[in-house]
Amino acid sequence: MAFLWLLYDIRTPVLDKLMQFATYFGQEVIIIAVICALYWCADKRFAYLLGFTYFTAGLGIQALKITFRIPRPWVLDPAFSAVESAVPAATGYSFPSGHTQGATALYFPLALKAKSLFLRCVFVFAFLLVGFSRMYLGCHTPKDVLVSMALSIGVSLLIWHFQSFLLDDPRYLKPIAAGLFLLSLAVAAYALFLDHTGTIETKYAIDCCKASGAGLGFCAGWYTERTRLDFSTRTKTLSGQLLKLAAGLFATFLLKESFSFFFGSSVLAKMAEYFILVLWVLVIYPYLFTQITTRKTAGRTKPGSIQS
């Protein structure tokens, strides 16, 4: 808390806004948008690597949150207050930091893949800045941020090292998908057990089950796409790529925002929401877009339409 009080003393309205903007780059909306852009339009293999990193690290972070159950800094020290604009997004327990996990799981693999030193530095600076912003805003202690960063970097390096095994060898599709599926189920069962016994409040179980639902959706979608669909990221024109990305992102965020309206916000509903959301990104939308473009192409080349 001593470091947070030090940051508290240097707060200014301008810095508050800058740090609030910086922390936004660790929110799931940015991470989803980047992974979607890569997956649908540019580099499907690398998007899968990011997915493995993000969802595996996320499951680990959420399991640690409900295990240690460390409250937010303003609960640890009632005299301390966070920057007001950051409080609504600070859901769940404090340790470890979910925003830092998301940012590190996204930007650290991007740094590993980057060819230039400049880009590597930019990506490393990005997740370091998100971690610092969480402390500046008063949402996390240094321990929350550093443990989250260390775990996410460790998972990133492990998956990066074994990426050929995970992504290129079809012999291991089933065991890898089954392993992630069981891990996701185990984390969900753990959260539901703690909720049922009154060890944690339902709102904390929801955060954990969202990560589990996303993990289940990822392993189901990854296995289905690899074995049944295997779509191509290419389109004939740049405008086609932009249309694919814009339509997909719009539909994805519409699905996310409307799901709770129809199905509520119970633990199982939120788990189902994230399962369907990830499945939509990986399989349903690529399949629909492929079918639409195939039919349009076939319509232009019907027999008898070729002129001599």
Q: Where are the beta strands (DSSP E) in 138-255?
A: none
Over residues 115-128, mean pLDDT: 96
Cα 10 to Cα 27: distance, rounded to the nearest angstrom: 25
Residue 224: CA atoms inside 13 Å, Cβ hemisphere, count? 16
**Token representation of residue 135:** 């402390």
Q: What is the CA radius of gyration of the chain?
A: 21
pLDDT of residue 305: 45
Residue 300 has pLDDT above 70, yes or no: no
**Nearest-angstrom CA–CA distance, 176 and 219:** 8
* pLDDT(304) > 80: no
| Predicted pLDDT of residue 91 | 81
Amino acid, res. 33: A
Residues 43-51 have a mean pLDDT of 95
Q: Quick count: other Cβ atoms within 10 Å of Cβ 145? A: 25
CA 204, CA 93: separation in Å to the nearest integer?
7
- Which one, of 256, 301, 258, lies nearest residue 277 by Cα? 256
- The pLDDT of 202-229, averaged and rounded, is 94
Instruction: Give the Cβ contact number of residue 147 at 10 Å.
Output: 19
- The residue-averaged pLDDT of 196-206 equals 93
CA angle 53, 246, 32 (to 5 degrees): 20
